[in-house]
Structure 1
Amino acid sequence: MVLIQVLLPVFDNDSRLFPKSHYETMAAALTERFGGVTAYTRSPAEGHWKRGGQPTSRDEIVVMEIMCDDLDRAWWSDYRQHLETIFRQEAVIVRAQEMMLL
């Protein structure tokens, strides 16, 4: 089994809140395709990163998790690019890890 996590920004690059419908549409599509999704939306997580000698950047993020039997890398790559367009991001992080239900 695979756990897939999608990290999405709460605000755009001009500090405007993304519409709630972006996340609702995504949750509905992922539920339809994979049978369910867990969305961590109530208390956004914080992401911090540095590039070279630049100051530390900070983002508030929403995390969506999906569990599935197999990882379709090509589908997820295409979907990540779709999300980058919708959320106007240079990169949206989609990560996967093997997992075992206990």
Structure 2
Amino acid sequence: MYLVQLLLPLNDNGGQRLSGALFQEVREELVARFGGLTAFSRAPVEGLCQDEARRAKDGERLVCEVMTGALDRARWDGYRHRLESAFRQREIMIRAQPTARR
């Protein structure tokens, strides 16, 4: 099993707040595909990254997690590219780690 985490920004690269409908669409798609999801939405996490000019930029993130038996990297890469376009981002982080259901 794998735990897959999607770190979704609350604002686009220009600093504009993203529509709640966009997040709802992601939630519905993940639940339909994986049968459930955990979203850490009460207290968004904050992340820091360096931009091209090596300045630190921060941003709030919503973390969504799903469990999957197999990890189809090509499918996740395609989904990440779709999310980057929809969320108007240069990069969206999706990470996966092996896990066991107990």
TM-score (norm 2): 0.92
Q: Distance in 2 between matches of 1:65 and 1:36?
A: 9
How far does residue 54 in structure 1 lie from its aligned partner after superposition?
Answer: 1.9
Task: Give the aligned residue type for 1:38.
Answer: T
- Report deviation, 1:53: 6.4
Aligned to 1:2: 2
**Helix, strand or coil: the match of 1:7?**
strand
**What is the aligned partner in structure 1 of residue 56 from structure 2?**
56
Task: Tell me: CA distance 1:43–1:92, structure 2 relative to 1, closer, same or farther (3 Å).
Answer: same
TM-score, normalization by structure 1? 0.92
Q: Which aligned runs of 4 or more in structure 1 are off by greater than 4 angstroms?
A: none
| Unaligned segments of structure 2, at least 5 residues | none
- Matching of residue 25 in structure 1 with residue 25 in structure 2: yes
- Separation in structure 2 between the aligned mates of residue 53 and residue 6 of structure 1, nearest angstrom: 26
Gaps of 5+ in 1: none
Distance verdict in 2 for CA 1:66–1:48, change over 3 Å: same
Tell me the C-alpha RMSD between the 2 structures.
1.4
| Residue type at the aligned position of 2:59 | D
